[in-house]
Amino acid sequence: MTIERTFSMIKPDATERNLSGDINSMIEHAGFKIIAQKKIRITLEQAQKFYDVHKEKPFYNDLCNFISSGPVVIQVLEKENAISDYRKLMGATNPEQAEAGTIRKKYAISIDQNSIHGSDGIETAQREISFFFSDIEIVG
């Protein structure tokens, strides 16, 4: 097991419902350290670039519009095995398939308004952290 960092984003449906604190509580109780965090508004252009891996998918436009529709909380999380452990804590993309005890099971509204994003691999985590946190030194 190695200490890893992963990128997390609390999506607009969750900030709108004042769930950032509750979600952070789940994150911290699961053993993650929130080593960087900011609340921002993502522009449509940033959303398109951030999600460009999905640009051929039918949900791409709606996804980019949604992510830029309200404030988000972006975070860097640190823990042993952070990347795959955070995917487990998030739960399945579709909350109907998410397991009990996961963030999406508890809070997601639907497959598109699913409250939380987390990196899906080591390279994605590095890309996503530097996409949003290149301007600050993360001290941990």
Kindly list the strands in the beta sheet with 3-10, ordered across the sheet, starting from the edge strand earlier in the chain.
33-40, 72-80, 3-10, 116-118
- By CB under 6 A, tell whether 59 contacts ligand CDP: yes
Q: Tell me if 63 contacts ligand CDP by CB under 6 A.
A: yes
Q: Which of 117, 119, 128, 129 is catalytic?
A: 117
Residues 28-57 touching ligand CDP, rule: CB under 6 A, are: none
Instruction: Identify each DSSP E strand in 1-140 by its residue range.
Output: 3-10, 33-40, 72-80, 116-118
Return phi, psi of residue 102, to 5°: -95, 160
The answer to whether residue 29 is catalytic is: no
Q: How far is the CB of 129 from ligand CDP (least distance, A)?
A: 16
Check residue 131 for interaction with ligand CDP (CB under 6 A). Answer: no
Give yes or no for residue 112 binding ligand CDP (CB under 6 A): yes
Is 117 among the residues that bind ligand CDP (CB under 6 A)? yes
Tell me which of Mg ion, ligand CDP, none is bound by residue 79, counting a contact when its beta carbon lies within the kind-specific cut-off of 5 to 8 angstroms.
Answer: none
Distance CA 52, CA 67 (A): 13
Tell me the β-bridge partners of 10.
73, 116
Q: What angle do CA 44, 48, 51 make, to 5 degrees?
A: 130
Binding residues for Mg ion (CB under 5 A): 120
Catalytic positions are 117
Binding residues for ligand CDP (CB under 6 A): 59, 63, 93, 111-112, 114, 117, 120
